[in-house]
Amino acid sequence: MSTSTEPVHADVLVIGFGKGGKTLAATMGRQGKRVVMVEQSAQMHGGTCINIGCVPTKALVHRANSRRDADEPQAWHQQAIGAVEQLTTLLRGKNFQMLDTIDTVTMVTGRARFLDPTTVEVAAGSDRLTISAETIIINTGAEPVIPDIPGLRASEHLATSTDLLQTSTLPNRLVVLGGGYLGVEFAAMYRRYGSEVTILEAAPALMAGEDDDIAAAATGILADDGITIVPGARCTNVHDNSDNSVTITYEQNGVRHTLQADTILAAVGRTPVTRGLGLEPAGVRTTDRGAIEVDERLRTSQPHIYALGDVNGGPQFTYISLDDSRIVTDQLIGTGTRTVKDRVAVPQTVFITPPLSTVGLTEKQARDHGHRVTIASKPIAQIAAMPRARIVGDTRGLMKFVIDADTDQILGAALLCLDSQELVNTVALAIRHQVTASELRDAIYTHPSATEGFNEVLATIVPA
């Protein structure tokens, strides 16, 4: 950052180099608008997904699944971390270049803090730069939550997902606090690298938001892979030992237990990053959960300030941040009609092996909404018309569709199977465009593919 104290004025100021922010900055820059992009760290160009989120974690999942029993765990993991670091470095550079090559976009490295509703100060060491703008975009993302457990924060064995992505040493024993998407992804990944893995989940079961049959199937796969799952576990204490291990104390059904580990992964959720932004002098309100309060067009309590991505408290997915950028771009240079209410059938995937992908309503939700439903469901191992699963040697899991019995419309689906992260997008498109279950059943798919399993599964529709 320049040491110049001359204030800078921009048409658009973007705070945070996340998916939504960088996309909007590039769009506005190509429109000839004067854009300033502020990112506190040069190691975060491109945002969470590229540097410490989706890309490195899924790359590590891929390399974990490629490990053979004969491959030494520590060496394989170390090699994987190095390869992923090279990948993220490459992508980080490409993302920086994407904006740096636009003449009207200026990149600034430092921490931004609002001075008033239209002005921020960016600090980098002793340097200070004042930036004012007509439109301001906050895209600062989220950070891991560290639960308030005695001894945990002070423990030398505590790690976040970010820490693990940057650590080449494979823990022999990993304890995961939290059985949500992040927790089970890391648990499954590190088990395949060779760690002994235990998940401590406070809820009575993993994946409580899914139907019981789906949650049971996914939990069974994790358990069959050798992961120890402890539901209903309340962690009460963490204590570092002299032998470079850590002891975790927890209660289950009123009984006290302890276990030893080398590393504790805190995976109980992520919270919006708003600390130090100076939102009060900006007049920007936050919710009870600490997210920036926005309306359906992502405007904050100050109409010229928008919040995109995880910081606004919406679903914490890169593709939601991207869609946020479309909504705000429409406000700035479009018709101004696009809102978050336009989102229908947004899919999601948890990258265990095989992955679990869901979209729309669960069976329970559909019934609670008053639908008369039918179910089409079949274990992957029993789908004759899906040879791809046998070709690659993974027939675990199942497909399940929730269908409106009166209209034949697909209400939702849970796909626990090979390639489900791709299959679910087809189902989501069908829901959005009201393609019926019968049409999806009778469609022509390539062979051999996982998609052709739809032909057989959707032929099993039965009342439930």
Ranges 37-46, 72-81, 288-297, 448-457: which has the least confidence: 37-46
Examine the domain organization and report whether 314 and 356 are in the same domain. no
The answer, yes or no, to whether residue 4 has pLDDT greater than 80, is: no
Q: What does the CA dihedral 453, 456, 459, 461 come to, rounded to 10 degrees?
A: -60
Do residues 321 and 17 touch, judged by C-beta distance below 8 A? no
| The two structure tokens encoding residue 390 | 């046998």
pLDDT tens readout for residues 246-279: 999 999 999 999 999 999 999 999 999 999 999 9
Q: Catalytic residue among 9, 77, 304, 447, which?
A: 447
pLDDT at 300 over 70: yes
Residue 96 is part of which domain span? 8-142+271-342
Structural tokens at position 111:
């921490």
Read off the pLDDT of each residue in 411-417 and give the average, rounded to a whole number: 98
Confidence of residue 46 (pLDDT cuts 50, 70, 90): confident
Are both 283 and 137 inside the same structural domain? yes
Looking at the structure, tell me whether residues 181 and 237 fall in a common domain.
yes
CATH number for position 414: 3.30.390.30
**Does residue 287 share a domain with residue 189?**
no
Cα(104)–Cα(89) distance, integer angstroms: 25
Is 74 part of a structural domain of the chain? yes
* pLDDT given at position 298: 98
**pLDDT for 5 beyond 90:** no
Angstrom distances, CA of residue 226 to CA of 18, 193, 220, 409: 36, 12, 10, 39
pLDDT in tens, 351-394: 999 999 999 999 999 999 999 999 999 999 999 999 999 999 99
In a domain, 322, yes or no: yes
Percent of the chain with pLDDT over 90: 91
Per-residue pLDDT, averaged over 430-443, amounts to 97
Q: 214 and 358 share a domain?
A: no
Q: Point out the domain boundary residue: 248, 268, 288.
A: 268
Q: Is 285 contained in some domain?
A: yes
Using DSSP's 3-state secondary structure scheme, residue 46 falls into coil
- Is residue 153 a part of any domain in this protein? no
What is the arithmetic mean of pLDDT over 197-216?
A: 95
Same domain membership, residue 403 and residue 368:
yes
Q: Is 62 annotated in the active site?
A: no
Q: Note whether 327 and 25 are within 8 A (CB).
A: no
Identify whether residues 286 and 395 lie together within a single domain.
no
Q: What region does 305 belong to: left with phi over 0, alpha with psi -120 to 50, or beta?
A: beta
Split at pLDDT 50, 70, 90, the class of 463 is low
Can you tell me the mean pLDDT for 34-48? 90
- How many domains does one find in the chain? 3
151, part of any domain: no
Q: Clarify whether residues 353 and 371 are in a common domain.
A: yes
- pLDDT tier at 41, thresholds 50, 70, 90: confident
Binned at pLDDT 50, 70 and 90, residue 215 comes out as very high
How high is the mean pLDDT of the chain?
Answer: 94
Q: Does pLDDT of 64 surpass 50?
A: yes
Q: What is the CATH number of the domain that holds 293?
A: 3.50.50.60
Residues 17 and 135 in one domain: yes
CA 423 to mean position of chain CA atoms: 18
Smallest CA-to-CA distance from 386 within 359, 354, 358 is with 354
Question: Are 362 and 397 in a shared domain?
Answer: yes
d(CA 321, CA 409): 28
Examine the pLDDT at 2 and tell me if it is beyond 50.
no
Q: Which amino acid, residue 47?
A: G
Domain boundary among 342, 369, 389: 342
The domain boundary residue, chosen from 234, 268, 302: 268
Q: pLDDT higher for 464 or 457? A: 457
Q: What is the pLDDT of residue 1?
A: 45
Q: Quick check: is 205 in a domain?
A: yes
Residues 238, 281 share a domain: no
Mean pLDDT of the region 86-91: 92
> Do residues 390 and 245 both lie within one domain?
no
Whether 91 is covered by a domain: the verdict is yes
User: Considering the domain boundaries, does residue 147 fall inside one?
Assistant: no
> pLDDT band at 464, cuts 50/70/90?
low
Contact 15, 138 (CB under 8 A): yes
